[in-house]
Amino acid sequence: MLGKLGALVLTLSLATPAAALADETTEPAPEVVLPHVNLDPCPNQPVGEACSQRQFATVVSFFDDPEGLAVAGASLDGDLVYEHVYDDGSGFTPYGEVWLPFNDASVPADHYAGIEVPPGVHEVTFHARDLEGNERAVTRSVIGAKVPTRVTNVRATQRGRSTLLQWSFPRSRGSWVYQFRIRVPGVGMHRITGHVPSKPWTSLRLPRLEPGRHVARITAVSWVGESRVRSFVFRVR
């Protein structure tokens, strides 16, 4: 009869080849195969560093071989906010014309995703899946845009019977400054508006002002909101 030790040795000797055989025949998990989808909204900034201020986070891809992309989309702070179907099993259909934020021309793209980022720091995730449900995703911290700064370097130059107001362009802080509003009591409100991607002019001619003291109040306007008012006092001779 075998003692307890002999029984244990016999058991191990019988189990070892089977275990080795199982290890040899186990196949690795299949690799997820997706086309080269751009899922990083700020690839030029190091991973771990928050993306710079922006009102929109976007990704665009162009494929040589699009086979494998079925669905792609984006999440904000863990909540799915956008998804687009590229292949429902009947074949790949490219996204089409894309109007990137603050551009005046569209481009044809195979893949595109974009979401608006509120002010503050947010977690933005872009993902892509194939028809089998395999998924790749990239998550980045993105700093949302803020209202623009106040205009600076305001000056007034009298030219004959008119006065030329000029100022420096403010920092847009992630959005697009598309308008300046200039209010001069006794004269009224003036609006100077630019068109994508042009900027509005940073000057205004005020004709036939009455001699004396005047105050100009200038506000910069972006798609996020209005800057603080810059008040400027000047005199007309």
- The enclosing H or E element of 140 equals strand 135-144
Smallest Cα–Cα separation from 221: which of 171, 166, 147?
147
Q: Is 165 exposed, middle or buried (0-12, 13-18, 19+ CB in 10 A)?
A: buried
**Residue 118: is the preceding peptide bond cis (ω within 30°)?**
no
pLDDT, position 186 = 87
pLDDT, position 26 = 55
Whether the CA torsion 126, 128, 134, 136 is positive or negative: it is negative
CA distance linking residue 86 with residue 72, whole number of Å: 8
72 Cβ contact list (under 8 Å, min separation 6): 37, 83, 84, 86, 111, 113, 126, 127, 128, 129
Regions of the chain where pLDDT drops below 50:
1-23
What's this model's pTM, rounded to 2 decimal places?
0.78
pLDDT digits 0-9 by tens, 1-31: 444 434 433 343 334 444 443 445 555 555 5
pLDDT, position 28 = 56
The two tokens of residue 166 are 């000029």
pLDDT, position 197 = 81
pLDDT, position 208 = 86
142 Cβ contact list (under 8 Å, min separation 6): 41, 42, 50, 51, 54, 57, 117, 121, 122, 123, 124
pLDDT, position 34 = 72
pLDDT, position 21 = 39
